[in-house]
Structure 1
Amino acid sequence: MKRRPRRSLPAALVAVILLAAGALVAVTAVQMLLNEPTWISYDQAARTLHGLLWTDTPVLAAGIVAAALGVLLLLCAVVPGARTVLPLAAGDTAIDSGASRHSYRGTLRAAADVDGVDGVKLKVRGRSLTARVRTERTNTTGLAEAVEHSLAHRLDQIAPARRPAVKIKLKAARSQS
């Protein structure tokens, strides 16, 4: 179970652009059928486009922009995004199970909130879990180990298919003396 995100943003952008272009063409066609003044003059557009050569700067610029957008959309379709569901260990059963990235991070954030911790920011990336722990204590002896032990215990309970390496970065208040 390795669900990946949908590519809804690029698809929505392409759909909106095509919808706007189609609506503009449809409105212009209806205006021409009703003998009304058109938003875009067909004759003027045809004359302008007929006068252009393949080597003209506007044609080259439009080609480069179209090619770049095509490559960008192709990369959005081909390159996989970050997993939205992280697989859990199968254990004794053959049932696939997973946890959403949001709930996984939330559960680990709650586990890292041990006594003396004022704030926690977690980053889950591939095979690493980085916890940035903020505390107002001036003596932080043993706090990083307590957070690491708590996170390790919670990871044992969750049992992810690929256990991340835990890194703790502690930021403490400065001494008042």
Structure 2
Amino acid sequence: MKRRPRRSTPAALVAVVLLAGCVPAAVVAIQAIFGKVPWISYSGIADRLHATHWNDFVPVLAGAAAALLGLVLLAAALLPGRLVVVPLRGETDSGASRRSYRSTLRAAASDVDGVTAATLKVKRRKVTARVRTARTNVEGLPDAVRTAIERRLAQIAPATTPAVKVRVTSTRSKS
């Protein structure tokens, strides 16, 4: 199971921009059907566009902005996002949510004697744990935290086991 995130934000942005462009066009068309004076004058827009040259600043800027927006939306559609569900080993198609995966590993790090707080960054191939302790002597604590996280990883059994990196910060000074 390799569920990827939905691309709902770029799709919603495109929908809002298209709606913003279509609403004035529809209002002007309805006004023309009923014989009313339209909000936006077609001849005024046509005269302005005929007077504009391709190498003027405004068309070049608008074209560059449209091309950049198109490239960003194309990249958002084609590039894979971070996995929402971390695949697990085994014959069945199973997985764990990233949030529960991270909180389980953080709980394993926090259960080590001497750790007062733990934060984790979980990436595809690396887990980085930052732990705080009130101890002045932190010797052996990084290894204990690494062992606890690796033990929990063995229990979870992800499809690819990440490397574990531990950083310890002491809240008390040695002197």
Structure-1-length-normalised TM-score: 0.90
Q: Deviations over 1:89-125 (max 9, x none)?
A: 11xxx21111111110011111111222111110111
Q: Which among 136, 139, 142 is matched to residue 141 of structure 1?
A: 139
Quick one: which amino acid aligns to residue 148 of structure 1?
Answer: R
Q: How much has 1:65 moved relative to structure 2?
A: 1.3
Structure 2 CA distance, aligned partners of 1:120 and 1:131?
A: 7
Residue 106 of structure 1 is matched in structure 2 by 103
Q: How much has 1:54 moved relative to structure 2?
A: 2.3
What secondary structure is seen at the aligned counterpart in 1 of 2:128?
A: strand
Residue 74 of structure 2 is matched in structure 1 by 74
- With 140-149 and 81-90 compared, the bigger mean Cα shift is at 140-149
Q: How much has 1:34 moved relative to structure 2?
A: 3.7
What secondary structure is seen at the aligned counterpart in 2 of 1:60?
A: helix
Segments of structure 2 that go 5 or more residues without pairing to the other structure are: none
Matched, 1:119 2:103: no
Structure 1 CA distance, aligned partners of 2:89 and 2:60?
A: 54
Residue 56 of structure 1 is matched in structure 2 by 56
What secondary structure is seen at the aligned counterpart in 2 of 1:131?
A: strand
Structure-2-length-normalised TM-score: 0.91
Residue 163 of structure 1 is matched in structure 2 by 161
Aligned CA RMSD, in angstroms, stands at 1.6
Segments of structure 1 that go 5 or more residues without pairing to the other structure are: none
Residue 152 of structure 1 is matched in structure 2 by 150
What secondary structure is seen at the aligned counterpart in 1 of 2:77?
A: helix
What secondary structure is seen at the aligned counterpart in 1 of 2:44?
A: helix
Residue 30 of structure 1 is matched in structure 2 by 30
Structure 2 CA distance, aligned partners of 1:13 and 1:173?
A: 45
Structure 2 CA distance, aligned partners of 1:56 and 1:141?
A: 67
Structure 2 CA distance, aligned partners of 1:14 and 1:146?
A: 50
Aligned residues: 174
Q: Deviations over 1:23-79 (max 9, x none)?
A: 121122223334445432222111111222223222222211111111111111111
- With 50-59 and 111-120 compared, the bigger mean Cα shift is at 50-59
Contact kept? 2:137, 2:174, Cα under 8 Å: no
Moved over 4 A (4+): none
